Each structure stands twice: as structure tokens, then as C-alpha cells.
Amino acid sequence: MTAIRLKDKTFNLFISEQAIIKGIERVAEAIVQDMTGKSPLFICVLNGAFMFASDLMKRMDIPCEIDFIRLSSYRGTRSSGAVKEIQGLVAKIENRHVVIVEDIIDTGHTISYLKNRLRVENPASITTACLLFKPEALQTGVKPDYCALEIPNDFIVGYGLDYEGLGRNLRHIYKIKN
């Protein structure tokens, strides 16, 4: 499928599943190298990062844990900047090596909010792994420590990312047609 339609918008095939997995394998190798002996705690940011977190975790051949937090900041195809915590963490993060697992860093507001929110609980370290990074859209100073793919400032869907709730199930990533 090279083009798909979600509600009122058309999207074209942009990044294949194979290319996505290649990027994730690279990130996984780097994390294993840096986190061996540290028993990291992954924090998956729902909803968008569920598929990335799953493929990343499968490649962690070191002791590690995962917990989930649910944040919301997006309306339609535009980031609102205001971040809401809809569902909190269960794990205690004090003295833990925390790795935030995000689907995409766009303006950077979500990741900045989350880092500040976690820092208060005194983790041993906080690093960020994102599937996608839009450097041109960044409005904060927060860059990812690990990133599978850098992309231009276009709205995309698939592999966990949605347009108004739809498209998360797609195995490839699609870019909005202007």
C-alpha cells in the first residue's frame, strides 16, 4: 500500500517497516552498550510509543524493566504545547537509570515536561530514546540521546503514531500529502 486515507487526509508511504527496524536495532545496540550492569527502567510514553517500545524491548538482552505513563499534548495535526498526565507511573524511579521511550520528538514540549517531572523523584540518570525526531520543529533545548530516525517537519502516521486516533496499527510510516 503506497497511499492511505484516514478521515479527511491522504498519506503516502514514507518509511518502510524494514527501515524502521534497522533504526531500532541501532538504538538497541547503543542502549545495551551504555546500560549493561545498570538494570535500566524503560518508561514508555503512551499511546504513541507502544509499538516502538515493544520492538526495542525485544532487543534488550540485559536485565531491564518497563513501566508506562500516559501523556497527551496533541490536537489533530498540531502540537498544543500543553502537556497533560492522564495515567501515572507505578514504578519507583529513585536511584534507577531511567530511559524514556517516546514515539516522536516534535516541538520537544512533551519530553521537557516529562524530564522535569521525573527529575523530582531523584533517578540515577534520565536518558531519552525516540523512534523519530524532527530537528526543524524543536522549540526546546531537549535533544534525544538515542534516535532511530530523523525526519523533516511533516506530519506522519503509522507504527504507533496516529491522526485523530487512526493509523496506529500501520506497520510502515506514512507522510501527509499536502
Site residues (CB under 5 A) for Mg ion?
48, 103
Dist CA 103 CA 47 (whole Å): 9
Is residue 106 at the binding interface for ligand IMP, with CB under 6 A as the rule? yes
Query: Using CB distances below 5 to 8 A depending on partner kind, what does residue 55 bind out of Mg ion, ligand IMP, none?
Result: none
Dist CA 159 CA 149 (whole Å): 13
Is there a catalytic annotation at residue 34? Answer: no
- Nearest CB to ligand IMP, comparing residues 31 and 113: 113
- Which one of 52, 98, 103, 148 is in contact with ligand IMP (CB under 6 A)? 103
- Nearest CB to Mg ion, comparing residues 78 and 92: 78
C-alpha pair distances (Å), 33 with each of 29, 38, 60, 128:
6, 10, 10, 15
Dist CA 25 CA 61 (whole Å): 12
- Which one of 14, 79, 128, 144 is in contact with ligand IMP (CB under 6 A)? 79
Catalytic annotation, pick one of 8, 61, 103, 106: 106
Beta strand pairing call for 125-133 and 146-150: parallel
- Which one of 107, 123, 131, 133 is in contact with ligand IMP (CB under 6 A)? 107
Dist CA 127 CA 56 (whole Å): 15
Dist CA 58 CA 88 (whole Å): 24
- Nearest CB to ligand IMP, comparing residues 104 and 126: 104
Is residue 148 at the binding interface for ligand IMP, with CB under 6 A as the rule? no
Dist CA 43 CA 4 (whole Å): 31
Dist CA 104 CA 117 (whole Å): 18
- Nearest CB to ligand IMP, comparing residues 31 and 69: 69
Interface positions with ligand IMP (CB under 6 A): 48, 73-74, 79, 102-110, 155-157, 161
Catalytic annotation, residues? 106
